[in-house]
A and B are shown apart, each in its own frame.
Chain A
Amino acid sequence: MTENLDGRAQDARLAVRYERWDDMSDEYRTAAAKVASFQALAELVGVLPFNEWMDRVPDYTRKQMLVAKIQDEVGHGHVTARVAEDLGVTREEILEDFAAGRTKLLNIFHYGFDSWEEIGPAALLMNSAALVQFQSLDKGTYLPYARALKKIGKEEAFHYNHALDLTHQILSEGETEQRAIVQTAFDTWFPRLLAYFGPPDSDRYQENVGYQFGLKVDSNDDLRQRWIAKIVRVFRELGVHVSDDIARCDEETGEWTYCKVDWVACKKLITEGGPKYQEWVDTVRGSLARNQRYRKAALALAV
């Protein structure tokens, strides 16, 4: 399907939708399982950079909110893993494949946070990008996945507001040095999130299997534009400086131009592992090994 994407072509691509029990081709089933299991892993590993900070949160209410967020993310891992399991990929496989280095992580989950002040702006960029992504994917053709995303979206809205409030607190009550960390965090994480949406659309992006099946609803570039249009304004209102080199809106076309993403470096990061990659692999591996006897005991006791 290389002809241009007018409204009708798009409708046709998204018109046939599936429940778990509907007949579907093996290709469709595999593609849907891949999308769901990929997200399940992202949710479960994506929680680890926040998990590290649980014992270091500087005030009690923030700690409660962070714990809630961490629990939510693990819950998101559960619901997306359930979607994958019903399509034939078990949750054990999802974790074991990662522990054995067989699956790749999204670029943003290869990093950790160096300071508490970095978490607010970084999480705000991540949550807003995730919301844009999910609000597109939840219009996709596999209905159990679409429903899971709608549930996830509700909780992401809380994460988004928590990150916004945390950033606001540091910018309004923090020391000069703390405010500077927020600015640096924005400048560091913004390009990472640009890359999170995936490579720029090629002339053949519509040939992508997930796209043809209507599992992927919008193109990478469309989602990236949508996200920038939302989030740049939010950061500017918070008082973060967004330079023209980072993102600039063409007032005539409404299109955003943004800083160049180093795709070679990004690919290298994903294939070779970023600063925290090995630590997360070890954490998951250790957790699987440590809990094995309890899993066995629980299963043996179950009626």
Chain B
Amino acid sequence: MRTIDDDPKAYEVFVQVGGSGKPLQYVGSVRGADPILAWHAAKEVFTRREDCTQLWVVPRAAVIRSDAEDRIVLSKGSARRYRLASYPSTRRRMRSRSEPA
């Protein structure tokens, strides 16, 4: 894990489209001389079609993102089958199948 990067004028852009309940989505970046100008640049470039309910810009240097070597750890979720909803259900089905008639 590490922070980046070298361009102090770069801002990452996040939008919420499809309704106020939806998660924000990363869509790209803009450059801006200051945060307000960056927000306006993002508005012009990224909110041209769908209704947007939230528009965030984040200084690139403030983002702490995962690295290539984090990928293995991050993708462990589905490897732990015993945590998935299907796991106990499967066990239950197997159990009832093995019950004597």
Contacts and interface: CB of A to CB of B under 8 A. Distances in A.
B44 A154 contact: no
Contact of B29 (A71, A72, A82): A82
B38 to A, nearest CB: 10
Interface string B33-53: 111010001001110110000
Nearest to A147: B28
Contact of A71 (B30, B48, B67): B48
Interface in A155-183: 155, 158
A282 interface: no
Contact of B10 (A75, A86, A151): A86
A154 B50 CA distance: 10
Main secondary structure of the interface of A (DSSP, over half): helix
B95 interface: no
Main secondary structure of the interface of B (DSSP, over half): mixed
Contacts of A71: 44, 48
A75 B44 contact: yes
Contacts of B45: 75, 78-79
B31 A85 contact: yes
Interface in A17-52: 21-23
Interface residues of B, number: 23
Contacts of B41: 78
Interface string B47-78: 01100000000000000010110000000000
B28 A82 contact: yes
Contacts of A298: 33, 37
Given A21-B4, A21-B65, A155 B48 contact: yes
B59 to A, nearest CB: 12
**Interface band, chain A:** 20 to 34
B31 A82 contact: yes
Given A71-B48, A75-B48, A78-B45, A151 B27 contact: yes
Among B7, B32, B33: residue with most chain A CB under 10 A: B33
Contacts of A303: 34-35
A106 to B, nearest CB: 22
A47 to B, nearest CB: 15
Nearest to B44: A75
Contact of B28 (A22, A79, A91, A299): A79
A157 to B, nearest CB: 10
B90 to A, nearest CB: 33
Interface in A260-303: 298-299, 301-303
A49 B8 CA distance: 35
11 contacts: A21-B4, A21-B5, A71-B44, A75-B45, A78-B44, A78-B45, A82-B31, A144-B28, A151-B27, A155-B49, A303-B34
Interface of A: 21-23, 71-72, 75, 78-79, 82, 85-86, 91, 144, 147-148, 151, 154-155, 158, 298-299, 301-303
Interface of B: 4-5, 7, 10, 27-35, 37, 41, 44-46, 48-49, 65, 67-68
* 10 tightest A-B CB contacts, nearest first: A302-B33, A302-B34, A303-B34, A75-B45, A78-B45, A299-B33, A82-B29, A154-B49, A79-B28, A298-B33
